[in-house]
A and B are shown apart, each in its own frame.
With several copies, the nearest count.
Chain A
Amino acid sequence: MMEYTLDELMIATMAHQFSGEVMVSSVTAFGALAALVAKKTHAPELAVLATPESGMEVTPLPTLTLGQFLTDVQRGIPLTMEEIFDAIFCDLFRIWINPAQIDQFGNVNISAIGPWQQPKVALVGSRGIPEDTSHLSQIFYYVLHHNPRSVVSRVDFRSGAGNGPERDQLLGRSGAPTLLVTDLGVFTFSGPGGSMAIVSLHPGVAAEMVQERTAFPIAGLTDSFAITPEPTTEELEIIRTADPLEVRKLELLSGDKAAEKFVAIYERERQALHVAWPTRSRI
C-alpha cells in the first residue's frame, strides 16, 4: 500500500461514486480528479468536461486558470451553457458540489451566512445548484473541513434542496442529496426523515470526533461503521500524474502556505499544460 494523503483519500472515495455515461463537471480540482480516476478505472463511459461550460471528452489537468484552454489543446468537443443545462435537465450530468454549509437533511448553502437580506458574510449566490437539486437523480457533496460551522443543523439559506416534506411534494426524489464526503467520513441522507447517516469513517477517525464536529446529533452513532477504503496504487498514480502541480492540495491549505503554493502553481501551470498536451492542429 502506497502512502497517501487526505486529499487523495477523498478524491478516490469520490471517484467510486461515478458510473454510467454522463457528463461530469470538473469545476474543482477534487471533482476533476475524481472524474478522471473513475474514467480510467471502473467508469470508462464518463464524458469528462474541461470546465463546466467548456469542452467534453477531455482529460482534466487541474489548473487555476486553464480549464477552458484544455478544450482547445485537447480538441475537446465545445459545449454551450444550453448543452450543460439540457444534460442536467435530462439527468445526464454529475458534479461534486462543495457547499459552504450542509445540514442534517442535506440542504446546502453557498449564498449567505446569516440572514440573506443582511448577511453576516455574503457568499457567492446559488449559481446552478437549484437546477441540480431539482433534476439530477444523484447529487454529490463534499466538505473539506467538517466542523459545526460547515455541517450545520439548519442551513442559513437553501441554495440547494435537501430532504423534507417540501421536496417530497414539489420534486419527489429528483435531485435529492445522495452522498456527502468530508475529511472525516462518508455519509448518506437515509436516516430518519432523510437525515444524515454514517456510511464509513476514514481510517483513524472515531465516531465521537464526527459527532463533536457536527452541529446536530447524528442518527445511529453507536452502530459500528465501515472504514473508508484506502486509495489503490493505481488511483494514486492517476491522481499524481494528472495533477503534477498539486492544485488539489490548495483546497486544504490556508494562510501563507496557501498563498505561496498558489503563486507557484500559477507561474508554472502554462508550462505543465504544454508538457502534458503538445498542441495539435485543428482540421
Chain B
Amino acid sequence: MNKTLTAEAMMNQIPDGASITIGGSSLSRKPMALVRALARSGRKNLTLIVNVGGPEVDLLLGLGVITKVIYAFVGFEVMGLAPNFRRARQNSNVTFEEWTEYTVMAGLDAAIKRVPFLPTRAGLSTDVLTVNPSFRTITDPFGGETLVAVPAIHPDFALIHVNYADERGNGVILGDGHIDVLCAKAAKTTFMSCERILHGDELQRFGRDVQIMRIHTQGVAELPWGAHPTGCAPEYRADLRHMEEYMEATGDLERWHAYQDRMVWVDHEQYLDRMGGRESMVSRLHV
C-alpha cells in the first residue's frame, strides 16, 4: 500500500469547480507547495473552505481561479491584511461567505458525523447570521431555545501539510493541529504533503502526535519546506521577509506577473532555489 504521489499527479485528480478545504492557520503550516501546484494545474472555478486563511487563499484569489470562499478569517496575522483577499472582497465577482471559527469546524464535523447540521449558540446576535445565507436558526426541542443550525460542509478535496507521514498515509503533526484532522476526515479525497516520509514503524513511535489516520488520506507527497512561506513548527518559522516581498508584488499587475513567473510557475525544487536554496533557508528560518 503506497499512496505516494507527486503534487502534479494529485492536482490531475482535481476537476474544475471542485470544493477544496485547506488546513493550517494564516501563517502556520499551510500546504503552500500543494497550493502552488494547484495554481499551476490551471484548475478554475474552485471553492475554498478555510477556517483561518492566509497566503493560500490570497494567492489563489490573485490568480483568479476562485469563485467562492467560505472562511472565518483571512489575513496575514502580524503582517496585516491579505491584499488580494481585500481587493476581491471589495471589488470582484467572487462569492464570499463569512462563517466563524467554530462553525467551520462544526460544519466539517457534521459532514464527518453524517448529520445535516450541528447546533450552536455561536453567531447569535451578530451580523454573521445576517450576511451568511447558509445558516438557519432552529428551536431546541427540549427547552425551546433559539440556536444556530450550522449546515454540514462536504468538501471534495482537502489539502494539508504535516511534519512526517508514512507511505500508507498516516501523518504526524508536531505543532498546532489547527483543523487539519477535520479537513482530512470531512473531504472525499485528502492529499497530504509532508516534510519527510518515514517508514511506518518509525512513524508509529510518535504516539498521539500521529494525528492523521491513513483511512482518511488518498495521496502523500514528500515536499520539504512545503509550508513555505508559512511556518512549520517545530522546524521553521514563517518567512516574513518573503511575505513582505509577496505583499509588495500584489501592488500592481506587472510586479504580480513577475512574482508568479518567479515563484509559482516553477516546480518545487526551483522554488527552493529561488528562495536561496535549502542551506540559506535553514540559516534564516530554522528555529
Contacts and interface: CB of A to CB of B under 8 A. Distances in A.
Interface in B77-100: 78, 81-82, 85-86, 89-90, 98, 100
Task: Assign chain B's interface to a size class.
Answer: 35 or more
Contacts of A252: none
B196 to A, nearest CB: 14
Contacts of A81: 51, 101, 105, 177-179
Interface string A147-169: 00000000001111100101100
Interface centre among A76, A123, A174 (most CB of B within 10 A): A123
Contact of B114 (A69, A89, A266): A89
24 contacts: A21-B1, A45-B1, A53-B176, A53-B178, A56-B213, A57-B200, A65-B240, A68-B176, A75-B204, A77-B207, A85-B102, A85-B113, A89-B114, A116-B98, A116-B131, A120-B90, A124-B82, A126-B72, A127-B72, A130-B122, A130-B124, A170-B124, A174-B121, A262-B240
Interface in B185-229: 185, 200-201, 204-208, 210, 213-216
Interface centre among A86, A135, A164 (most CB of B within 10 A): A86
A123 B215 CA distance: 33
A125 B126 CA distance: 12
A158 B126 contact: yes
Contacts of B177: 53, 78, 80-81
Given A80-B177, A159-B127, A170-B125, A89 B72 contact: no
A215 interface: no
Interface of B: 1, 25, 27-28, 51-52, 71-75, 78, 81-82, 85-86, 89-90, 98, 100-103, 105, 112-114, 121-128, 131, 146, 170, 174-179, 181, 185, 200-201, 204-208, 210, 213-216, 231, 233-234, 237-238, 240-241, 287
A257 interface: no
Interface centre among B25, B177, B181, B200 (most CB of A within 10 A): B177
A47 B207 CA distance: 16
B237 A134 contact: no
A89 B112 contact: yes
A134 B90 contact: no
A80 B211 CA distance: 11
A82 B181 CA distance: 11
Contacts of B127: 111, 116, 157-159
Interface SS of chain B:
mixed
A95 B1 CA distance: 22
Contacts of B185: 86, 90
Given A56-B213, A122-B85, A262-B240, 13 more contacts: A45-B1, A68-B175, A69-B287, A77-B204, A77-B207, A78-B210, A89-B113, A92-B216, A126-B73, A126-B128, A130-B122, A131-B122, A161-B126
A90 B112 contact: yes
B112 A266 contact: no
B178 A65 contact: no
Nearest to A80: B177
A134 B205 contact: no
Nearest to B137: A170
Contact of A133 (B85, B126, B181): B126
Interface string A110-129: 01100011111111111111
Contacts of B73: 124-127
A194 interface: no
Given A77-B213, A170-B146, A127 B121 contact: no
Task: Assign chain A's interface to a size class.
Answer: 35 or more
Given A57-B170, A64-B78, A81-B178, A131 B1 contact: no
Contacts of B124: 130, 134, 161, 170-171
Contact of A72 (B72, B216, B234): B234
B100 A270 contact: no
A65 B231 contact: yes
Nearest to A66: B237
Interface centre among A64, A78, A171, A262 (most CB of B within 10 A): A78
A134 B121 contact: yes
B237 A122 contact: no
Given A75-B201, A283-B206, A159 B287 contact: no
Contact of A71 (B72, B128, B175): B175
A134 B234 contact: no
A83 interface: yes
A23 interface: yes
Interface centre among A88, A122, A166 (most CB of B within 10 A): A122
Contacts of B170: 57, 77
A69 to B, nearest CB: 5
Contact of A21 (B123, B201, B204, B215): B215
Interface in A58-114: 64-66, 68-69, 71-83, 85-90, 92, 111-112
A133 B131 CA distance: 18
